Chains A and B, each alone.
Chain A
Amino acid sequence: MVEPIKHETVLDPGAEQVGKTYARALIGAAARAGVADDVLGQLDTLVDGYLASSDKLAAAFASPRIDEAEKSRIIDRLFGGEFHPVLINFLKVMGKRDRLGYVAAVRTASESLRDEMLGRVVAEVRTAIPLDDHSRNNVISRLSNTLGKQVRLVETVDPSLIGGMVVRVGDTVFDSSVANQIEKLSRKAKDGFSRELLKRFESFSGSGS
């Protein structure tokens, strides 16, 4: 599996907006045909698999120099057998409107839209060692109990945490990692020490060994 990008730091409000609009249309059409999850899975394959591995294909999708008919021929030839007709049609519509470059934005938006529709939240879990099934189930059940929602986990392994885990839901982070606690403890000890040092400097110097 491709390691997910750790952070997205390129904010393109325009792409985000376009993505949201098309995602709503795609999910609407797919849900009516009853294949929403399938289509979203295939969209993932398209973005993470084909587009990520082939720069040429991504360039062809984004390029305005390749006309609409050519684009729809490419779509038919490459994905005709594999993808659901709803997704094929959707891609052709995007091609017609010169929006094929925004497929990745559509994927991001449709994921969050789908989660929202199903009352699901995404929890990003960072741990020092990979989670085993037992602890994964534990985490999911604890989180869904506290949040009152279905939880989808996105896992990352980060040895610099030393131990414990960091869970991020939306913009809220629950941090019980060992690294963070050591950091806090060291800050507290430093503050406390400098306070004591100022208060009674003599007892530290002088009569000691």
Chain B
Amino acid sequence: MKFSSDEIASVLQAEIEQFDSKIDVREVGTVLEVSDGIARVYGLSGVMAGEMVEFPNGAIGLAFNLEENSVGVIILGNYLTIQEGDEVKALGTLLSVPAGDAVIGRVLDPLGNPLDGKGPVQSSVTRPVEIIATGVSERKPVSEPMQTGIKAIDAMTPIGRGQRELIIGDRKTGKTSIAIDAIINQKGTGVKCFYIAIGQKDSAIASIVDVLEKNGAMEFTTIVCAGASAPAPLQYIAPYAGTAMAEYFMFNGGHALVVYDDLSKQATAYRQMSLLMRRPPGREAYPGDVFYCHSRLLERSAKLSDALGGGSITSLPIIETLEGEVSAYIPTNVISITDGQIYLQPDLFFAGIRPAMNAGISVSRVGGAAQTKAMKKVAGGLRLDLAAFRALEAFAQLGTDLDTATQSQLDRGYRMVELLKQPQYRPMSVTDQVLSLFAGTRGYLDDVPIKAVSKWEKDFLEWIHSKHAALINEMNDKRDLNDDITTKVIAAIKEFKSGYKIG
């Protein structure tokens, strides 16, 4: 390719003409020592906590510890070329990241630098990374649903816009898949999605980008990435940076969904920094303010009042447990901060129940208010029924003779479990979910063999979409199951069953 040298020269000339040479006044310090992403700096006597500083190699740092004789700085970038004796410059501002529409569809590092090779983010809007969350009077209760497109979650632990719902479980139990499904399901809703990858393998992040692109979800998604090889300070600020980008949409009346994958690694990064900074260790060697580290982050997810535009940030923090130990320090902290949790269990996962959600201990404290009426009618009591079924199932394994009532309860339970299974990256619309669950909870599946349940569901939904499109539209509009619609649905199911052959 040929480049026009005249054009290049004219651009450079314009830049040089606009350049005004002023005396550069700056406050400086001297690097005393540098190691593992932190530096100790002498001088910088007027620096504020959390203020940005710049190293000669261009790396940005944050004043983290202000001590009597020195300043502890965390380095957000390459610390390998910083040397003892280097001059550190205070920038006089707090850390901020680019925000606005320009960040959508991009893969960025926590400072807003591109990682996707599409050039720098062209945005005039920036937002501070650390802000104090909105207060009581600026919020209103969660009222709109945030559909994940996953039957088990939308029915039993519904999530509302502005809610914080924790996804917790051991490794390899499908935590990330749930979050990715939720992002894919936001297609066409105008919700902007932010996937914040903390301390993950870069290959895993690349495959997530690939999945999102294939499902057309990258158009409304931003990925903020501090991979496993990124220094601990970058992993630590990544969630705050991603939230700052999402806040731009919330404060402009829009809606955003933020996935923090995962906060256990962020806590580990914070622990590393704190220990290197010689802050005293507490339980599990985490510093004393690790709770605040998560609470101030998750508090920034909010549903704003109408006066402020009614925007929202919904967050799905992810926590990885070890051997199902939810009473460890970080899991209990985050459980107590969030508005509910989705608990994923390995034994369910390996039994083929995917998503492997344990209905008994998964809860959603505020999302019920945001469920559609139709969903409330079909799914009310589903969670408790399933929990009762699990108990009964354990009892039935003892081989006792069961009376018919118990047996039918068990049969219904097996079919509901089967119905709640859902393949990855295949989110469903609310209407489809309501139709499936209606058939299951009202007993229309009791005579379908357990193994054929998912096939039956698939065929039924296909059939009803082609034969009763008017009914589907009505359900989409009303979002309620009134008597009229209920009769029509029952009639449709009966009609389908009369002409359906299993096998």
Contact = CB atoms under 8 A, between A and B. Distances in A.
Interface stretch (A85-93, A112-120, A189-197): A189-197
B397 interface: no
Contacts of B19: 184-185, 188
B21 A181 contact: yes
B4 A203 contact: yes
Interface in B2-31: 2-8, 11-12, 14-16, 19, 21, 23-31
Interface stretch (B43-51, B205-213, B387-395): B43-51
A7 B25 CA distance: 20
A193 B27 CA distance: 29
A99 B447 CA distance: 95
Contacts of B29: 171
Interface in A12-46: 13, 16
B32 interface: yes
B323 interface: no
B80 interface: no
Contacts of B3: 204-205, 208
Contact of B27 (A10, A171, A205): A171
A56 B28 CA distance: 37
Given A189-B15, A208-B7, A209-B6, A171 B43 contact: yes
Interface string A114-153: 0000000000000000000000000000000000000000
Contacts of A208: 2-7
A188 to B, nearest CB: 6
A181 B5 CA distance: 25
Contacts of B23: 174-176
B116 to A, nearest CB: 14
A170 interface: yes
Contacts of B31: 9
Contacts of B12: 189, 192-193
Contacts of B26: 172-173, 175
Per DSSP, are chain B's interface residues mostly helix, strand or loop, or mixed? mixed
Contact of B15 (A9, A11, A181, A192): A192
A7 B85 contact: yes
Contacts of A175: 23-26
Contacts of A72: none
Interface string B111-123: 0000000011010
A79 to B, nearest CB: 32
Contact of B14 (A13, A192, A206, A209): A192
A18 to B, nearest CB: 14
Contact of B30 (A7, A13, A194, A209): A7
B2 A193 contact: no
A193 B11 contact: yes
Given A184-B24, A195-B122, A198-B120, A205 B69 contact: no
B307 interface: no
Contacts of B42: 8-9, 11
A180 interface: yes
A198 B122 CA distance: 9
B322 interface: no
B483 interface: no
Given A9-B30, A172-B25, A198-B120, A193 B8 contact: yes
B1 interface: yes
A196 B25 contact: no
Contacts of A10: 32
Contacts of B89: 173
Contact of A198 (B44, B69, B119): B119
Contacts of B87: 173
Most chain A CB within 10 A, of B4, B8, B14, B122, is at: B4
A180 B56 CA distance: 12
A206 B16 contact: no
Contact of A192 (B7, B11, B32, B119): B11
Contacts of A194: 119-120
Nearest to B68: A13
B70 interface: yes
Interface string A153-197: 000000000000000101111111000110011001100111110
22 contacts: A7-B85, A9-B84, A10-B32, A11-B42, A171-B28, A173-B24, A175-B26, A181-B21, A184-B19, A188-B15, A188-B19, A193-B11, A193-B15, A194-B119, A195-B120, A195-B122, A198-B120, A204-B7, A205-B1, A208-B3, A208-B5, A208-B6
Interface of A: 6-11, 13, 16, 168, 170-176, 180-181, 184-185, 188-189, 192-196, 198-199, 203-209
Complex A-B, nearest 4 residue pairs according to Cβ-Cβ distance, in ascending order: A208-B4, A175-B24, A192-B15, A7-B85
Given A172-B26, A195-B122, A209-B2, 11 more contacts: A7-B85, A11-B69, A13-B68, A171-B27, A171-B28, A175-B26, A185-B19, A189-B16, A196-B11, A198-B119, A204-B7
